[in-house]
Amino acid sequence: MTAAHSYDALMDITPRPPIVFVRGEGNWLWDGSGKRYLDFVQGWAVNCLGHSPPAIAEALARQSRTLLTPSPAFYNAPSLELAQALVNSSCFDHAFFTNSGAEAIEGAIKLARKYGALHRDGAYEIITFDGAFHGRTLAAMSASGKKAFEPLFEPKVPGFPKAKLNDLDSVKALINRKTVAVMLEPVQGEAGVWPATDKFLQALRELTRQYGLLLIVDEIQTGIGRTGKLFHYQHADIAPDVMTLGKGIGGGVPLGVLLATTSASCFEYGDQGGTFNGNPLMCAAGLAVLQQIDQPDFLQQVVDNGAFFVDELERLSARHGLGEVRGRGLLLALDLERPIGPSIVAEALRDGLLLNAPRPETLRFMPALNVTQYEIAQMISQLDAILAKLGAEVTH
Ligand SMILES: *Cc1c(COP(=O)(O)O)cnc(C)c1O
């Protein structure tokens, strides 16, 4: 911080530590004083290849010298290539690029309502789930099932009745003539890493088919290799109708995607658009990310390192009398069984380690997908020491 800068010039929208990060490389971040931090947050599962990976830096540099944007009213090569690559690797047929996850969710909601207008006699309700997080636009907040959102920005956008995750009867009970879709995160990330079971995803697919409803998976956090498959829905061997991507697809730059099958892809001219949507610069970064991650060896390494990570967390939990380890691939949580998450996060920050506690009694881990076992072991040993210290403080 120099005298020329003040923290006050930014809107104060969240408590932030008085640290300014100036550089990142792989799993490491440096602040202005030269202090180094091991990063197991990675911008909330965003930097899937770590900080400033050469592949993205080169793609951005090359594309910025070639073409920044011709306007979304014209085709550009990177967006065509990225759309084709995503379609080839998934069960979807068409892509619409956005600038954030919430904007992709907004698009999914509009697409479902359009589908309802065209095919379901004006049905518009989208069943979502308690604990869900779908982003911070007004409709995305309304679709979310986050308690803290409930009193905010009333009146909400109507039409999002809430069911319970892994409880098919709670979904069935909400279906009526106005229902057009069911939308869920295959693993509820912000709620504290609560996975939908593969059986539940399969049952939802069957149920939505039976009633002619769209199944929308929000893979903004779980997609792009995070759970060990390119997309999480592939674990359950189902084919949803609509999917949203964000976070990892840009590898650190703002990029989201709305994907749909041919039968669900029903926007007409004038329904959807946006100035920066599908701009070549961000799509070039997305292509660089996908080329590295959509490889059997890369995804196998996520699975192997995830298993190693779970093992280490379970031993740590046993040593300190903590709770269960949840999640899949490299989206993991450790239940602390006590609201000590914020103290752990603060202590870790002092100790040069970035951790996240989405709930006071839960730690969530979302390292870069190319994190090494060595770095996982280093994080575990730092966390071990922090827990020992906090445990000692609690008992004495
Ligand atoms: C982060 C997230 C969003 C919102 O994405 P933004 O890019 O922050 O708008 C939506 N859904 C899920 C599951 C997320 O994890």
Residues 140 and 120 in one domain: yes
Say what the pLDDT of residue 395 is. 55
Q: How confident is the model at residue 394 (pLDDT cuts 50, 70, 90)?
A: low
**Strands 125-129 vs 325-328: parallel, antiparallel or unpaired:** unpaired
Percentage of residues in the chain with pLDDT exceeding 70? 98
**pLDDT at 103 (0 to 100):** 98
> Are 145 and 39 contained in the same domain?
no
246 lines ligand 1 (CB under 6 A): yes
| Helices and strands (H and E) in the chain: how many | 11, 17
Please, are residues 161 and 174 in contact by the beta-carbon 8 Å criterion?
yes
Question: pLDDT category, 6, cuts 50, 70, 90?
Answer: confident
| Residue 236 within a domain | yes
Substitution site in 103, 134, 276 for ligand 1 pocket (most atoms within 8 Å of beta carbon): 134
Our answer on whether the CB atom of 145 is closer than 6 Å to any ligand 1 atom is no
- With 0.75 as the threshold, say if the pTM is over it: yes
Q: Tell me if 1 is assigned to some domain.
A: no
In tens, the pLDDT along 227-277 reads 999 999 999 999 999 999 999 999 999 999 999 999 999 999 999 999 999
Q: What separation in Å is there between the alpha carbon of 16 and the centre of ligand 1?
A: 20
In a domain, 212, yes or no: yes
CA–CA gap between residue 116 and residue 273 (Å, rounded)? 20
Average pLDDT, the chain: 96
- Report how far ligand 1's centroid is from the alpha carbon of 105 (Å): 8
> Which CATH number does the domain housing residue 34 bear?
3.90.1150.10
pLDDT band at 337 (very low <50, low <70, confident <90, very high): very high
59 & 15 share domain: no
Average pLDDT estimate for 118-122? 97
So what's the pLDDT on residue 1?
A: 47
Atom of ligand 1 nearest to the CA of 254: 7
Distance 134 CA to ligand 1 centre (A): 5
Ligand 1 centroid to 179 CA: how many Å?
Answer: 24
Phi-psi region of 283 (alpha: psi -120 to 50; beta: other; left: phi over 0): alpha
pLDDT score, position 391: 84
Sequence-distant (≥ 6) Cβ neighbours of residue 316 within 8 angstroms: 322, 334, 380, 383, 384, 387
Q: Is the pLDDT of residue 3 over 70?
A: no
Task: Give how many domains the chain has, as a whole number.
Answer: 2
Same domain assignment for residues 283 and 318: no
Let me know whether 113 and 211 are in one domain.
yes
246 alpha carbon – ligand 1 mean position (Å): 7
**Whether the CB of 135 sits within 6 Å of ligand 1:** yes
Q: Determine the residue type at 27.
A: N
Residue 396 — very low, low, confident or very high, per pLDDT cuts 50/70/90?
very low
Are residue 173 and residue 272 in the same domain, yes or no? yes
Residue 133, ligand 1, Cβ within 6 A: yes
Confirm or reject: Cβ of 129 under 6 Å from ligand 1. no
Distance 381 CA to ligand 1 centre (A): 30
| Domain residue limits at 175 | 54-293
In the prediction, which pLDDT does 344 show? 97
Going by C-alpha positions, the residue among 264, 176, 182, 174 that lies closest to residue 218 is: 182
Protein residue with its CA nearest to atom 3 in ligand 1: 135
Q: Is residue 340 part of a domain?
A: yes
